Amino acid sequence: MIGEIRERIAARRLVPGVRIPSVRAFADTMGVSKSTVVEAYERLAAEGAVVARPGSGFYVAGKTRPLSLQAMGPRLDRIVDPLWITRQAQQAGSDQLKPGAGWLPDSWLPHEAIRRGLRRVARADLAEMTNYDRPLGYEPLRNQIARKVGEKGVGAEPDQIVLVESATQALDLVCRFLLQPGDTVLVDDPCYFNFLALLRAQRVAVVGVPMTPEGPDLRALAILLERHRPRFYLTNAALQNPTGASLAPNVAHRLLKLCEAHDTLIVEDEIFGDLEPEAAPRLAGFDGLERVIQIGSFSKTLSAAARCGWIALRADWVEPLVDLKLALSLGNGHVTAALVHTLISEGAYRRHLAETRRRIAGAMVQASAELRACGLEPWSQPRGGFFLWMRLPDGRDGADVARRALARGMVLAPGTSFSLSDAWNGYMRFNVAHCIDPRIRPILREALG
């Protein structure tokens, strides 16, 4: 009982100066006697967590405590907590196996092209290397991104493209731009686990929309839109993380109609879109950027160290969003933007993508066979990208499998980490680019028991 109040304070559901539930109300909620609650409140007062005001009740004491995302989310074993998984994968040595990672292997990245690009950027005018960039970001790169998204049906002028440091910063800016604490946001279920962490930090309610291999379950989406009146729906139209699914055209059209009818915006994460062999429908393309904001970056395709992302949005929202960007960061990195521009303009990025798609296609065949041999079954067959969403054999729990694998030096990504519900506990995300290591199969068999 004391722990319940402490957790509410840590998660900022109770903040300093707020009255905590009355003794009678909390006793009824917890199903205990009033004397038990009084004793608990007195102990909390003794440790300084709350203060008693005679005739009024008990109030949260002290200053606002630092934000704890762990406290704000569901209680998870740290081995399957998504932020813990990210730390483990980023801190892992080169010899540790990471089939649960969300990025390409280091050996697949265009190291020499990046070196050449950096030398080219270093020869630029000194003022460009040392000054703040323009508020919208490096114009030549914005021109390239406008052409790039245009090839996928999204009509955006360069002045509708805002450069940022990453897709994560893009989403954070969009959330700050659109949301108020207490708003509701819809996400796919399952979805990229950092969406859940970032939205918790915005102090909004997050509701999951069940996924199908062709996109969200439209019947469930209609019900949730009516019930929750969300501010926006956050999704991947192409190569959804973690399932690898892409929107079917009829689903994309109906999704837009439903959201429009309920005055719900859409934020479309395009971060894996360049890995598609053929482009699936883009919601921002059908919509013309009226009710859809598209975000993306080059972190998954080019380099996680070269932090460069972008936001494409309607023209009348650009200026207030840029004001917010400047207030939070004073701009974005010119050197990285210039590097990305150089790699695109000289053709290195195009050649790298072609080679990466070829290697992924081969790894997909090999990894699928290896995982099937271990008793796993694919939820769907992705049209591209490097994720496979696999069902574990015999109802095994992904968290337990991940725990046993970690003890053997292998980082996995269990379904629990990607979902607000228990529907995906028996699933796991695999990165096929990391799954072709021959050491993985025996360790996975051991972890499956």
What whole-number distance in Å separates Cα of residue 354 and Cα of residue 255? 31
Q: Which amino acid is at 238?
A: A
Mean pLDDT of 361-374: 96
Q: How would residue 406 be classed by pLDDT, with cut points 50, 70 and 90?
A: confident
pTM of the model: 0.82
Mean pLDDT of 76-103: 71
> pLDDT tens, 176-187?
999 998 999 999
Enumerate the β-bridge partners of residue 216.
Answer: 211
What whole-number distance in Å separates Cα of residue 349 and Cα of residue 382? 23
Both structure tokens of 242: 């973690």
Mean pLDDT of 344-366: 97
Q: Which residues of 350-359 are buried (b: 16+ CB within 10 A; e: fewer)?
A: eebbeebbeb
> pLDDT tens, 321-332?
999 999 999 888
Q: Is 81 exposed, middle or buried (0-12, 13-18, 19+ CB in 10 A)?
A: buried
What whole-number distance in Å separates Cα of residue 252 and Cα of residue 127? 45
Pairing of strands 292-297, 265-269: parallel
Match 């010119």 to its residue by tokens. Answer: 334
Whether the predicted pLDDT of 79 surpasses 50:
yes
Both structure tokens of 318: 């650009």
CB atoms within 10 A of CB 348: 18
Q: Are the C-beta atoms of 11 and 71 separated by less than 8 Å? A: yes
Whether the predicted pLDDT of 30 surpasses 90:
no
Mean pLDDT of 79-88: 64
Mean pLDDT of 38-56: 79
